[in-house]
Structure 1
Amino acid sequence: MGCAYPELAARRRDHGLRRDAAATATYDPFTYQRRKSSVISVMGHELGGERTVRVFTTQDRWNAIAHKIAAMGEFKPEATIEQSGVCQLDPRDATAIARINAAAEPQLITVADGIAMEVIHAFRLLAASADPRHPILLKDTLLPPPTHAATGTAEEALQATLSAACNLGSLLCDGIGDAILVRGEPAPGSSLRLAYNILQAAGTRIFKTDYVACPSCGRTLFNLQDTTQKIRAATGHLKGVRIAVMGCIVNGPGEMADADFGYVGGAPGKINLYVGKTPVQFNIPESDAVARLTDLIRDHGKWIEAPATAATQPI
């Protein structure tokens, strides 16, 4: 388990963009900005531009879960690759790239299966070469398991998870990708949970409460683990809210990144509350701080009451 990620990283070395492609790339690899693709409609869902990044699956996986899709709420698959009309390209094929760039209308594009390139480099090259108006469907693997493949071992499942997170997460953080497809995980439900959680982790599509907690150190002024659990219990039903739980005011505010609200240790037994990076309440007794945090969330219009029955959510 400990060596899984270094092995993945090693395979991705020395396969960067060609200099000519990098010089004309339609995305900036050093500053996040989503690739400026055009908006198109696929199976009743708009994607591209500033639209939500969509979650695709394969037709056989769609069929396998068809009986429960209606109960999956907003966490169900939104389209299948087979019915999407996607154009599959080898990004090294200059003729194919020129042909798609000459197309009159924007078209969903992706990297073709089976080509001898690592996923990240293949999609970066596609994004650098293709006209930016064409939305891109990202894949976690270009060598998908066979249809109806059996669920593998725990180690194989971990490898599939790490590979998908590394490949898709890196590309999403580059601003590349208008839809994603996870196939390395053979189980239909697990592949969808993985896809949605990758979008959540990349900050691309927030569907559940997001928590940012410091690792704790000698300056931590409260029990970080217990407090985080209390905050999760009180706020875990909120959608699209990011809450930072920080042990002290020395490093805490700087580590909060783009959190919506912050719970920060200000002194022994005292908590400061933040909105963004701005402190708004000081020296709250720790026993009252979680309730004051929920009040603060209400005051800023981010609160909803917890449903009587929890919705089906990927965890």
Structure 2
Amino acid sequence: MGSVCNGFLLVAAVVWVVVSSGGAQAQLSPAFYATTCPNLQGVIRSVMTQAVGRDPRMGASILRLFFHDCFVNGCDASVLLDDTPTMIGEKNAMGNANSLRGYEVIDAIKSRVEAACRSTVSCADILALAARDAVTLLGGPSWTVPLGRRDARTASMAAANANLPPASDSIGNLVARFASKGLSLRDLTALSGAHTVGAARCSSFRPHVYRDANVDPGFAMFRRRICPASGGDSNLSPLDPTSPNRFDVSYYRDLMARRGLLHSDQELFNGGPADNLVRLYSSNGGAFNRDFAAAMVKMGNIGPLTGSAGEIRLNCRRAN
């Protein structure tokens, strides 16, 4: 099934992105650390290779961590901040509590990076690079990551609750949420393909397999065995049972068979505006790879802190 997606896709040897920070124009560049931390990408790749080798699902978890960071006040590593007596951060927001994982992998990367290049590389850039490596290590495309983000000093549970799309979202809500971040319907549909890897908790997919009509009956029955009508909220089911640890197009084929695990997944193929893109990606892994890589670059450029804004955290879990 995954043969159409096996090759790595390199999107643009060099990507320059103009972003706005505090009214001043700043640029993210793939060469940002070329002289200050030349071995950065090799260090990150090494730690990610070990982490995904131990637990393939960790690739999906790091990818999700990046998404949940960028959708809340931009790609500023705010999702990594622990709560403090004066700040309730994002880790225990509705879409994150008992769900996000991989913090210790980012900690391990940060420790290695600090040993090599003290006070130089932001946690936000580490997360962006780790997410790219997560995808390639699971057999998906690669892309050039623009760098130069800085880290937020604070985080907000309220902002996370307001911005992260819940599994109950309709296609209309999803389109609006992504549009508010500068992401198109094509970006939404391609980025949702990240659900070709990873797993979801019973509490996230229970309403879909028990109440929605647009579900394959046999698929729903099997998922109900994993997820009882009450209790078992933390029981896990793969988002893509065909190849849960392989970054391929089977997620879209599942949608066309009405086997999307989440309500929000199946909304992408339910007589709505994304149907044709789902059909395209289900049969054209090259198109999916291209669009996913391009959308990841766009998402990575949502509201970064640059220049003198923010800081370079020494510990990703707390402000300096």
TM-score normalised by the shorter chain: which range applies? under 0.3
Bigger radius of gyration among the two: 1
Q: Determine which structure has the larger strand proportion and give its number.
A: 1
- TM-score, normalised on structure 1? 0.27
TM-score normalized by the length of structure 2: 0.26
